[in-house]
Amino acid sequence: MMTAEEKRELYLKPYNDNKEVIDKRIEEGIETYRKGYCRIRFTDEKGNPVKGKKVKVNQIGHEFKYGANIFMLDEFEKEEHNAEYRRMFKEYFNLATVPFYWKDLEPEDGKPRYDKNSPKIYRRPAPDLCMDYCEQNGVAPKLHCLVYNSWTPEWAKALSTSELKKRYEKRFWEIADRYSGRMYEFEVINETLIQGISNPLCEERDIVEWAFDLARKYFPNEKLVINEADPFPCIGRNTPSSVSPYFDRYFLQLESLLLKGVSIDKIGVQNHMFVGVSAHTDEEYESSVRGHAFAADPINIYRGMDAIASLGLPMENTEMTLPTFGDTEEDEELQADLLKLMYSVWFSHPAMETVVYWNTVDGYAHTGNPNWIENNCRGGLFHNDLTPKKSALMLKKLFSEIWHTDGEFVTDDDGYIEFRGFYGDYKATVETDGKLSENKFSVLPKQNNKKDFII
């Protein structure tokens, strides 16, 4: 079997072979696209500048979204684990993917499970339960997803195309009535390039166009996302690095849809390194380890992102999994190093707005298919007992320390301070006449970021 050193060499070789070029693009991209200048003026109630006062500036939130699916909310066997998951999620993530799989949301015709007191289905917490958590804890919820043919309810599979479309319209209306204006974004359709035919609608030539037209009808002011699993993005399972990403099937699908005027607001891509997911022997597992190293190549990831970005829309890494390869300290360290590298690449690209980790806790990934065992990947950021792995600590460090702005400044003779910081939400605290004044503001891209506070 491969040693820890061999796995590290294999997965970090693409980076190490081009370290100088990659580091330069990461550093320049983050500095250019994730930070901006801010100028704040403090005056008294008469409009006079407050001079020579110390101001503490602290970042309290990121404009960039780094999230995970929230499928295990109140789903653990032990109540202490449920409590820890609730505490942990808001500490490590600022976005949650909320499950709206039709098969599990409406397993019985006409009896949807929106309400938080609905009958439980494993890894499918009711939407209202998730929304309550997100709204109470400042976590942005996103819907996953409106149309996903692989998760058609059993009772709907025998419906004709026209009847199925009517039922989808009813589903869209119900969701819009209940959740419009409350979601960060709505995924409209998922994985059309890798699905089988589970109902007559799957064979429609214009299923994607139809889905977005219907979504825009019921969600006219919402951010609508398309999502695809294969590959990430453009470079991967079906497109070797020697082939132009502009001829990848997902790129061609997107280009065709946009030329037709389909109302897509954001392009979703996935990057699951599902190491060992189909392995039943040590030999099969090692083969899978060797077969997934392509997905950790920053040069190819940049090529793919650049290609999709040329379509002119923002991007999101909607689902990602990074393997741990084993249970040793060295395995955990490699996962953490891969996470730092991958997030740095995505965070540095101007088109990328969001990165969503998928299954956060080891042992609680998708089950039910003996030939697809996601728990084999050890892809969680937390151990089975919810203690953080090195990868979770790395993620937290990136967004709370490395990509984070705090500072102390002194107002000049005109009452101004000026700084350059990561985009997001801030508070500025200043003491005058023995009283603390706390002022909240945001630093955002494409804005002048000039603020005036009376203290």
**Within 13 Å and on the Cβ side, how many CA atoms surround 200?**
9
Which helix (H) or strand (E) segment holds residue 300: the answer is helix 298-309
Token output for 366: 């998708």
pLDDT for res 188: 98
CB 400 within 8 Å of CB 393: no
Helix residue ranges per DSSP H, 152-248: 161-179, 207-218
Whether the per-residue pLDDT at 179 is higher than 80: the answer is yes
End-to-end CA distance of the chain: 66
Distance CA 446, CA 223 (A): 19
Sheet holding 424-432, edge to edge: 406-410, 54-62, 424-432, 435-443
CB 179 within 8 Å of CB 135: no
CA 327 to chain centre: 26
* Cα angle value 223/227/232 (rounded, 5°): 130
Over residues 51-64, the pLDDT tens digits come to: 999 999 999 999 99
Amino acid at site 219: F
The model's pTM: 0.96
Distance CA 96, CA 92 (A): 11
What are the domain boundaries of the chain? 66-402
CB 384 within 8 Å of CB 36: no
pLDDT for res 151: 95
Over residues 353-397, the pLDDT tens digits come to: 999 999 999 999 998 788 899 999 999 999 999 999 999 999 999
Token output for 200: 């007559």
Place of tokens 């707005």: 353
Topology (CATH level 3) of domain 66-402? TIM Barrel (3.20.20)
The answer to whether the Cα torsion of 113, 115, 116, 118 is positive or negative is negative
Over residues 306-362, the pLDDT tens digits come to: 999 999 999 999 999 999 999 999 999 999 999 999 999 999 999 999 999 999 999
pLDDT for res 382: 98
